[in-house]
Chains A and B, each alone.
Chain A
Amino acid sequence: MKLRFDDSVEAFRAELLDWLAANRPTPAEMAAQPSVSTGHAPAWARRWTRAMFDAGWLVPGWPPELGGRNAGPIETLVYLEELAKAKVPRTTNVQGLGIVAPSIIDYGTPEQVRDYAMPLLHGEATACLGMSEPGAGSDLAALRTRAVLDGNEWVIDGQKVWTSGANYADFCFLFCRTDADAPKHKGISIVIVPMDTPGITVRPLPEIVHPEHPDLNEVFFDGVRVPQANLVGKLNDGWAMANGSLAHERGMVWVSAVMGLEESLAALLDEAPGLLDRLGPTERALAVDQIVQVAIDTQAARCLGYRGFAKLARGGSAPEQALMKLYASEARQRVALVAAEVQGADALAIGSVQPDGHLAVDEPQGTWLEQYLHSFANTISAGTSEIQRNIIAERVLGLPRG
């Protein structure tokens, strides 16, 4: 146990920083062509993805032919931290790079890797993840969108909802029911569906803050036909792959969550002296205590993340990982709420923000109250906080299923 990294890790960091300085997209470039959805990759984002792929910085832990450099987990951690510090998004298509591409590489055919995963890694395409449905949120395995084989084509009917980026994505990584008679976890498969296939209707769902830049969508499938070869992995094995996909999602997501939290706290500590000076002594003391508590929360999030990571990096299991999503998202919510409460009625003004809120859901955006409301995206999506508590209780603590 030690506070500093080894020299080899610092050399990796130095190499990355040099490369970033020479190749990163500029803030002006990003502001001129904002990404307006997680499915949307403006020209600079496409160039940036390709540049990272070519230089082996897109997924450092992968081999060079997949845009990496066979880096170890500690290097990957440093990489994610430095990108966040530099305020460069790793990708605008978070699900595509983080979940869909790794899943296709893990489970797909060589043709699927060539036609769908590689374009994602080359910045030529974006993907969305078709999971939740009106009747299948936390209970994802209850999903009902059907894919029925007709000759050598799948015919898809049903509806997805909360599909991030579907309004711009090139294809959907779609979870659908392929065996209506099997137990619900055993009849789900994954099919790749190009979003320009006839029969697909996308209806954006504007959010409670900044409705002008919707990222979430309802997606309707009405007799949509795709080739049989678009089935990913084994038939009816989608649930097991879903757990694999979510593992991709949860593996290092804590890094950006913690860095977003730290950024929020730093902003709060920056504004705090001015805000606190408006308050009387008792009110000030109450406010200060709230701020201190979220400062402790923030430091704890980093320590928890690092500790779980250190165990994983040594090949052990890390129950901390199961806590991170719950803890970091709720801590983020508390920071924004505390900040808004210290602001008092001044918190009511609404800001105009660049529509780059979808670069990373962890990037602080807008006023404190807007951030507070937006923070529910993280306590609801990818398994609500309540589901996270069930997961911790059942899978980590071994309590019986209810």
Chain B
Amino acid sequence: MDFEYSDDQLELRAAARSVLTSACPPSVVRSVVEGGEAKELWPTLVGLDWPALGLPEAHGGLGLGFLEVGIIVEELGRVVAPSPFLATVTQFVPVVRESPVGVALLEQVAAGRVTGSLALAEGGRWEPEAVQFSAERVGDHWVLRGRKSHVLDARSADELVVVARGAGGLGAFLVPGAAAEASRPAVLDPTLPVATVAFDGVEVGDDRVLFAPGDTRFPAVLRGAIEEATVALALSTVATCRAIFEATLQYAKDREQFGRPIGAFQAVKHRLAECYLAVERADSLATFAALTIAEDDDRRAVATAMAKAAAGECQRLLVRDGLQLHGGIGFTWEHDLHFHLKRAITGDLLFGNAATQRARLAGLLGLEAMA
């Protein structure tokens, strides 16, 4: 196994980091956190072809793979960028691109004219088995009814992939964001805005059926899409945690008490060493998971759950120690640290937190009780 990025990939990362340093400074994040919008960021990213990166060239994409998408996800997570990238590229596209109906949309996604999201979870559960949202065939169309929880970018996405259960099984429908009734909740992290979406008899024509309920291809497509979304959240969360780590390390070198930098005290040193280890541990697992997805390797299910679990465990340590070691200043609204803290916590909780992933792993490793 060659476990290091290629020179091209490293260049992509360096370029992305450089762009985001100027296009998404903390002031842009703060404006979103304080109720405003980052109107110029997305057009900038579209101008760099980021939404097109992982799409096939035949559909206006650049034909790169999940590793390159992951690099962008990490760089966005590192600066807590408020952007439709995560929902569109890592949640919406993985279902849409597998459907003959959906493929037609890809060119517009690549051009940045369409953003999207995935309406899957119900009651905070992302497992396909938990879907009760109903699709009923009435005449020549489908009628959708139910509530979806924790839909990322629900209020801003142009299109939603809605996973629903019909008489024949699970299916997926394409619904304009405007047709759904999204709640307007106050969430901890406005840079990853999630909302509940209610559908009370929304009618969908056959031209918007991505996978009809019971389509035998769909379970595998959905499983794959959930894995992509989950690994993307792991990558994003770990990158956010690394930023917390770097800020905290710098603070420990700069802040002096008792006549020396607080980082000279062993109690602080050992905490930082543990934080560093947690970030590297989670990062290497997330990278491995991304690689199994890029190569569609058999180990991707286990690797995904491990990556997301480790990202969550990393978050717990980095949020705690990052805030603790910053002391009082990190506790204030005016300091930028809380953007990262909230983003890291949010990333852990979406698509199943660390404990949920470990429970999933118990099944994958054959440790569940026999019924």
Contacts and interface: CB of A to CB of B under 8 A. Distances in A.
A303 B287 contact: yes
Interface in A368-383: none
A269 B3 contact: no
Interface string B265-293: 11011101110110011101101100110
Interface in B239-271: 249, 252-253, 260-261, 263-266, 268-270
B315 to A, nearest CB: 14
B350 interface: no
Given A306-B3, A389-B273, A402 B266 contact: yes
Contacts of A389: 269-270, 273-274
Contacts of A296: 285, 306, 309-310, 358, 361
Among A1, A277, A394, A401: residue with most chain B CB under 10 A: A1
A397 B1 contact: no
B297 interface: yes
B71 to A, nearest CB: 11
Contacts of A288: 362, 367-368
Nearest to B263: A399
A320 interface: yes
B2 A1 contact: yes
A393 B295 contact: no
A58 interface: no
Given A303-B288, A310-B2, A399-B253, A3 B367 contact: no
Among A276, A277, A303: residue with most chain B CB under 10 A: A303
B366 A390 contact: no
Interface residues of B, number: 52
Given A284-B369, A289-B358, A398-B253, A307 B287 contact: yes
A33 interface: no
B5 interface: yes
A13 to B, nearest CB: 13
Contact of B3 (A293, A310, A393, A401): A310
A389 B369 CA distance: 39
Nearest to A310: B4
A200 interface: no
B319 interface: no
Contact of B284 (A273, A295, A304): A304
Nearest to A293: B358
A59 B226 CA distance: 45
Q: DSSP class of B's interface residues: helix, strand, loop or mixed?
A: helix
A2 B266 contact: no
Contacts of B195: none
Interface string B302-330: 11001001100000000000000000000
B4 A300 contact: no
A286 to B, nearest CB: 11
A307 B5 CA distance: 10
A90 to B, nearest CB: 22
Contact of A314 (B4, B287, B292): B4
Contacts of A300: 281-282, 284-285, 306, 310
B54 to A, nearest CB: 15
A154 interface: no
Interface in B94-129: none
Interface in A355-391: 386, 388-390
Contact of B269 (A269, A289, A326, A399): A399
A327 interface: yes
Nearest to B358: A292
A326 B281 CA distance: 12
A221 B268 CA distance: 41
B192 interface: no
Contact of A399 (B272, B281, B284, B292): B272
A317 interface: no
A157 to B, nearest CB: 35
Contacts of B1: 2-5, 306
Nearest to B266: A402
Interface string A74-116: 0000000000000000000000000000000000000000000
29 contacts: A1-B2, A1-B5, A2-B291, A3-B1, A3-B291, A3-B292, A3-B295, A3-B297, A273-B366, A292-B367, A295-B365, A296-B285, A296-B309, A296-B310, A296-B358, A299-B288, A300-B285, A300-B310, A307-B287, A319-B280, A320-B280, A386-B270, A390-B269, A390-B270, A390-B273, A399-B249, A399-B261, A400-B260, A402-B266
Interface of A: 1-5, 269, 272-273, 276-277, 281, 284, 288-289, 291-293, 295-296, 299-300, 303-304, 306-307, 309-311, 313-314, 319-320, 323, 326-327, 386, 388-390, 392-394, 396-402
